[in-house]
């Protein structure tokens, strides 16, 4: 592990952006204030436009033209948050440390000096752990439910209440770049690579402006990527369900044979019980096929070996 390879370490911020036009002015202003503060580092910001349909890319290019510490990577279309994050990490590979964060300012840039201090203290992986979060209602309930379920399903321990926000040192970045999978769950991959780690606690804030860009469908897909990438438990549950159903079927068959042999049957036979059993067994089978399909679909995507992203344009300000 290498700490502070040079007298003034280079710290890069990797920030995926998708339709964040209302947030970008404040984001750039707060990042500029952070960079101007120095904090004993040389700063870079790698802003990855993930196929935005508003003026996000235009505003980012204008910021890069004004300030050479900002650079913009524009992808050819919307590849998704994880692919945009991978594009930014690839571009920031030469930095001594990389901070990953969202563009909506729910993860405040003012916490970044604490992440850097933890890295300088010996941690190669620094997790920003939420003490509290601003979301309420169904969105908050969904996040809490996911973390609870994932903690019990995962085959690999992952810290709860952590997300994209955090810091990776140079060795951790090199290790992360060796992971080739297409369906990525960043907190899980960050935990999987190991290395000495530390936690910095903070309070997650409300969005600075605009509406959340992660739809319910995308959040569900992201949750499924986390479960199926880091757990065999769904397959084990199918095995347990099969054993249970087979045992219950055998017990029910034995019961009805004895029931008939000893002439306890008084009422005429019907099809209600049979229909219920067929429906139940059909449902279990369909669930099993669906779970197997999720794993097979991910294997199919890996075999195709398509790139995670395609870069359309790179903008770097004059230094």
What is the domain partition of the chain in residue ranges?
Answer: 10-215+306-316, 233-304
- What the block records as the tokens of 60 is 């980012």
Name the β-bridge partners of 71: 46, 316
Contacts of residue 224, defined as CB under 8 A and 6 or more positions apart, other chains included, come to 294
Report the share of the chain in percent with pLDDT over 70: 67
Whether the model pTM is above 0.85: no
| Residue 158 and residue 187 in contact, taking contact as beta carbons nearer than 8 Å | yes
| Stated length of the chain | 319
- What's the CATH architecture for 10-215+306-316? Alpha-Beta Complex (3.90)
Q: Does residue 212 contact residue 143 with C-beta atoms inside 8 Å?
A: no
pLDDT band at 217 (very low <50, low <70, confident <90, very high): low
> pLDDT grade, residue 4 (50/70/90)?
very low
């Amino acid at each position: 592990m290498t700490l502070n390879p040079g007298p003034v370490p280079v710290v890069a911020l990797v920030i995926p952006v998708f339709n964040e036009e209302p947030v970008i002015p404040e984001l750039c202003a707060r990042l500029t204030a952070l960079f101007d503060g120095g904090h004993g580092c040389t700063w870079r910001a790698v802003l990855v436009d993930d196929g935005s349909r508003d003026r996000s890319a235009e505003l980012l290019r204008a910021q890069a033209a004004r300030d050479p510490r900002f650079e913009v990577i524009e992808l050819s279309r919307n590849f998704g948050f994880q692919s945009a994050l991978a594009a930014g990490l690839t571009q920031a590979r030469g930095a001594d440390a990389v901070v990953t964060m969202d563009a909506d300012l729910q993860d405040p840039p003012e916490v970044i000096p604490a992440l850097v201090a933890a890295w300088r203290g010996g941690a190669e992986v620094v997790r920003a752990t939420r003490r509290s979060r601003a979301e309420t209602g169904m969105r908050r309930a969904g996040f809490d439910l996911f973390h609870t379920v994932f903690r019990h399903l995962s085959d690999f321990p992952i810290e709860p209440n952590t997300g994209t926000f955090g810091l990776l040192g140079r060795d951790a970045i090199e290790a992360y770049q060796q992971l080739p999978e297409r369906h990525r769950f960043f907190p899980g991959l960050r935990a999987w690579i190991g290395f000495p780690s530390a936690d910095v606690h903070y309070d997650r804030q409300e969005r600075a402006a605009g509406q959340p860009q992660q739809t319910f469908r995308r959040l569900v897909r992201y949750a499924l990527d986390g479960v199926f990438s880091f757990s065999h438990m769904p397959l084990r549950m199918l095995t347990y369900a099969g054993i249970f159903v087979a045992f219950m079927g055998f017990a029910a068959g034995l019961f009805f044979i004895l029931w008939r042999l000893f002439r306890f049957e008084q009422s005429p036979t019907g099809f209600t019980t049979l229909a219920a059993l067929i429906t139940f067994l059909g449902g279990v089978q369909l669930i099993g096929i669906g779970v197997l399909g999720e794993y097979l679909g991910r294997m199919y995507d890996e075999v195709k070996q398509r790139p995670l992203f395609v870069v359309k344009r790179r903008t770097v300000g004059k230094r």
